[in-house]
Amino acid sequence: MLLRTQHLDATDPKDKIFAVHGLLSQLGAHLPDPDYSKSIQLVYQEAATVAINHDNRLHILASLTGESGIEGLPSWVPDWSCNRPISEIASWDDYNVKRATKPWFKFSADGKRLKLWGAEVDKIEEHSIPFVARYNFHDVVGHGYPIREIRILQRWFERLEEDPHPTSLVEFFSGLSEKPWTRMKSQFNLSTDVLSKYWIKAIKRFKKDGWTYNGARYIDADLRWRATESAMNDGMKEKHVRGDITPFHDLMRTLLDRKVMFVTKRGHLGIASQAIQDDDRIVFFRGVSLPMVVRQVKSKWRLVAPAYIHNGMEDISNSETILNKLQALLVTDQVQKFDIV
């Protein structure tokens, strides 16, 4: 309920919390009484603390983006004042590790730090330029989308093809979009494998056709006919790809909104918020079903954002998944303590 207020407008950003105070009280989640003399940092911190303690879960961490306009806000507290937050890159159920384990967490005496227990599994080696912010419908009617979106995707594809990874582009984007696509009602219900294949071909065709100059714009039909033509050349019926490629592209624009693609030290591919940096660590926390990007600040840590990592962090070196290792590790005391500020 608290996260659903984030997309709403409020003259005073504290009202993102105060407006649902009565409803939450009826549900047994007792926030402190509304007090406009409190700092916005304290109001948001108290709300996040109540949510974690009341639910005895850490689901609220899935909404973190690593970007906040509020100075001094703890990294584990969502910034409710931002009503156009970066979309969540992966749902809580995308990863099945530790499903039965209970979260371990503890708040510091002053309430500003959150202590979590987990295991560091990888490190971000390099990341791409960010995808642009997703435009609202009213921003593009009659004008189309900026060609910069296409150019960024082309650069992602070219970079990965220069340095081949075990995961193909089609496999990666199919995996990224599979779960949200199955929740959508599509016209022909093509698989994400098929749609990713022709979506990538269509993006590449823009460059081949010489249509990537500065200031250019494109509309859905431009991408649709390129994808459809490629599919027909492969013997597919025209209507199949034509019917699904537009909603699929719109889904991809939502998933990639202000995200970057990254490569880890172990050679895995992933996508996360544009706030991540090279050398950030990837950690699985006990009771958190998403891999989290964290950053060390002296002896403390800051949470940046969740990440989508293809194949659940499969360990290429020995074909044993890191998640399987963690399944055993995180139910023991052999975990590191992270003091989150």
**Exposed, middle or buried: residue 54 (CB in 10 Å: 0-12, 13-18, 19+)?**
middle
The answer to whether residue 242 sits within a structural domain is yes
Say yes or no: 173 and 239 in one domain: yes
Boundary residue ending a domain (197, 223, 257): 257
Say yes or no: 243 and 273 in one domain: no
Say yes or no: 158 and 253 in one domain: yes
Reported as a single tens digit per residue, the pLDDT across 119-170 is 888 899 999 999 998 765 545 545 688 888 999 999 999 988 887 777 789 9
- State which residues form the domain around 189: 138-257
Say yes or no: 115 and 151 in one domain: no
Per DSSP (E only), the strands in 51-190 are 105-107, 114-127, 145-146
Beta bridge partners of 230: none
Q: Are strands 105-107 and 269-273 parallel, antiparallel or unpaired?
A: unpaired
Work out the pLDDT band at 243, boundaries 50, 70, 90: confident
The answer to whether residue 171 sits within a structural domain is yes
Say yes or no: 222 and 335 in one domain: no
Boundary residue ending a domain (257, 277, 307): 257
The answer to whether residue 80 sits within a structural domain is yes
Cα angle 340-96-27, degrees, rounded to a multiple of 5: 65
What tokens does 82 get?
């931002």
Say yes or no: 160 and 239 in one domain: yes
Say yes or no: 250 and 296 in one domain: no
List the one residue out of 276, 289, 312, 272 whose CA is nearest residue 89: 272
Phi and psi at 238, nearest 5°, equal -55, -45
pTM for this model (two decimals): 0.87
Q: What DSSP state is assigned to residue 102?
A: P
Say yes or no: 72 and 114 in one domain: yes
Work out the pLDDT band at 287, boundaries 50, 70, 90: confident
Boundary residue ending a domain (257, 276, 299): 257
Work out the pLDDT band at 237, boundaries 50, 70, 90: confident
Reported as a single tens digit per residue, the pLDDT across 37-62 is 999 999 999 999 999 999 888 988 98
The answer to whether residue 38 sits within a structural domain is yes
| Structural domains of the chain, count | 2
